[in-house]
Amino acid sequence: MAAGQHYILMADVIRSSAAPARRLMKGLRGLVEGANQEFGARILSPLTITLGDEFQGVVDSLAAAVRIVFWLEERKLEARPAFGLRYVVKRGRVDTPLNPERAHGMLGPGLSGARQRLQGLKKEKARFLIETGAPRQDEALNLALALHQEVYDSWAERDHRLISLFLALRDYKLVAARCRRHPSSVFRRQRTLRIKVYFQIRELAQCLTQLWTQPV
């Protein structure tokens, strides 16, 4: 990758003004801090809340950015109040040294371009945008993330706790035991919630990052 080029991850809360501000910010901070701990080895400048309901960071690869996005989406199922996020992953130039403590005080067209793309997403129905400069890669990943959004956004909030169990345990029998419900009932819920489809989409997105991505 060219000198100064980095993978920038930026996201903001959808309709943040509609949620209780203090509870929302507590949930967002917990989510961001958890991601920094989980992926610290892959993060060059930590995810940092910058504008109240927006955060940004710099990671070492496209694969890391996509893994973090899925991690955030899955942990967000446990947030109360529930909230949505829109994301931009952009490969671009950062002209100033990376800040290893907080993603503040850095300048460059990559960062300004990511913020412009994030603002543009507010006019779209899509919650995800990948822009790496490789058109075929970007198109494939954006299609995979559109499939993710179609499944994820169909889940009702009342099912989020059950879905979190499916994602953590993977086996409907284990979920049934944890919930003290009949396995056949939980198996039917697994099908209607399209849990296996979700896993396939997640694996597809992660595989796509491996086909084209180059290390920073």
- Residue 123 is assigned to a structural domain of this protein: yes
Cα-based angle 10, 4, 46 (whole degrees, multiple of 5): 35
pTM across the whole model: 0.93
Give the model's confidence band at 2: pLDDT under 50 very low, under 70 low, under 90 confident, else very high: low
Displacement of CA 74 from its chain's centroid (Å): 8
- Structural domain includes residue 13: yes
Q: What is the pLDDT of residue 35?
A: 97
Integer angstrom CA distances of residue 173 from 145, 159, 162, 183? 29, 17, 13, 6
Does residue 149 belong to any structural domain of this protein? no
Residue 108 lies in a domain: yes
Q: How far apart are CA 111 and CA 126, in angstroms?
A: 20
Q: What is the pLDDT of residues 37-87, one digit of tens each?
A: 999 999 999 999 987 789 999 999 999 999 999 999 999 999 888 899 999
pLDDT, position 18: 65
Total of domains in the chain: 1
CA distance 51 to 28: 12
Report the CATH number at residue 13: 3.30.70.1230
CA atoms of 151 and 148, how far apart (whole Å): 5
R_g (Cα) of the chain, nearest Å: 18
In a domain, 175, yes or no: no
Instruction: Establish how many alpha carbons lie within 13 A of residue 163's alpha carbon, considering only the half-sphere containing its beta carbon.
Output: 26
Q: Which domain range does residue 37 map to?
A: 5-134
Tell whether the model's pLDDT for residue 216 goes beyond 50.
no
- For 96-136, write each residue's pLDDT tens digit: 888 888 877 788 888 889 999 999 998 888 999 999 998 98
Contact 73, 148 (CB under 8 A): yes
